[in-house]
Amino acid sequence: MRFRDCRRGTVTLADGAWGTEFQRLGAAPDTCPDEWNLSKPELVRQVAESYIIAGSRVLLTNTFRSNPISLAQYGVQGRVEAMNRAAVKLSRQAAGETALVFAAIGPSGKLLLTKEVTANQLKDAFSRQAQALAAEHPDAILLETMTDLAEARIAAEAALETGLPVIVSFVFDSGKHHDRTIMGVTPEQAATSLTSDGVHAIGANCGRGIRDFIPICQRLAAASPLPVWIKPNAGLPEMVGGVACYKTSPSEFAASAQELFDAGATFLGGCCGTSPEFIRTLAERSLFHSKSESASIPNR
């Protein structure tokens, strides 16, 4: 299987959340989980392998915060290259021949709008991360949890310079109808601009719950011919004793898979609060091939 085999009209099963799995393995909420790529590689590999066993055919990397701007908050910005390279190797070891590895890049956490960061600083930070990831030959680069169109386009430019396929995914959870990013970007604006920038897939992740993704997926698919990446949260978290709890069950989550496919989803996985159990439950749907290939749907 290759990235280009994952085209509209087929659906490939991605992975679930990593952050919530790391917390289950003992990571404190205020630590940088990306640091585990160097300090606790066996635990990172364990999470990656748990998704392969569950049926994921696309595995991300533990690099959501591994850009120099985000890592500076933890005082480990000097380890950008080592952390990103180690992460791709760990996911590749777990994926073997079974799954593609998409290297994850999250937002910088700084706002262009308020001049907390400049466009040049963002470009430099995303370039450093993208080049470090590309040095280990992932199958694609995924820019995820984006909210600001300008930042996403800068990150996309940096990622495209590696020559790898690039996917850009936004969080549409705001506005009256929960269909804009917190910065006010609509699915149409995101899809249209990134498609014209030359990225290879567009998408939505995180958000408020899987049902909200059906209209968003339709709108992304209508606004662009590209494959659509969909990774919803297991609902909105509720704080129980200081811990974020996600209330959607794996079977409730999987019940929306067919509608998301019908809406144009080309990749389907889970964001915050989803676990290998969610992926296993999704994998049981006839929608997905259980083999190491993305699937066309027979007899729909």
**Rule CB under 5 A: which residues touch Zn ion?**
206, 271-272
Neighbouring residues of 36: CB distance < 8 A, sequence distance ≥ 6 = 22, 27, 43, 44, 62
39: how many CB neighbours lie within 10 A of its CB?
10
CB of 207 to Zn ion, least distance (A): 8
User: Quick one: 206 or 268, whose CB is closer to Zn ion?
Assistant: 206
C-alpha to C-alpha distance for 66 and 81, rounded to whole angstroms:
9
User: Quick one: 147 or 195, whose CB is closer to Zn ion?
Assistant: 147
DSSP state of 246: E
CB of 236 to Zn ion, least distance (A): 11
CB of 272 to Zn ion, least distance (A): 3
User: Quick one: 104 or 132, whose CB is closer to Zn ion?
Assistant: 104
User: Quick one: 31 or 196, whose CB is closer to Zn ion?
Assistant: 31
- Residue 146: enclosing H or E segment and its boundaries? strand 140-146
User: Quick one: 162 or 169, whose CB is closer to Zn ion?
Assistant: 169
User: Quick one: 187 or 273, whose CB is closer to Zn ion?
Assistant: 273
| Two tokens, residue 293 | 């290939």
C-alpha to C-alpha distance for 164 and 148, rounded to whole angstroms:
22
Cβ proximity of 20 and 62 under 8 Å: no
DSSP state of 86: H
CB of 295 to Zn ion, least distance (A): 25
CB of 84 to Zn ion, least distance (A): 20
- Coarse DSSP helix, strand, coil percentages of the chain, rounded to the nearest 5 percent: 40, 15, 40
CB of 273 to Zn ion, least distance (A): 8
CA angle 206, 282, 3 (to 5 degrees): 70
State whether the Cα torsion 46-165-226-300 is positive or negative. Answer: negative
User: Quick one: 60 or 125, whose CB is closer to Zn ion?
Assistant: 60
CB of 105 to Zn ion, least distance (A): 14
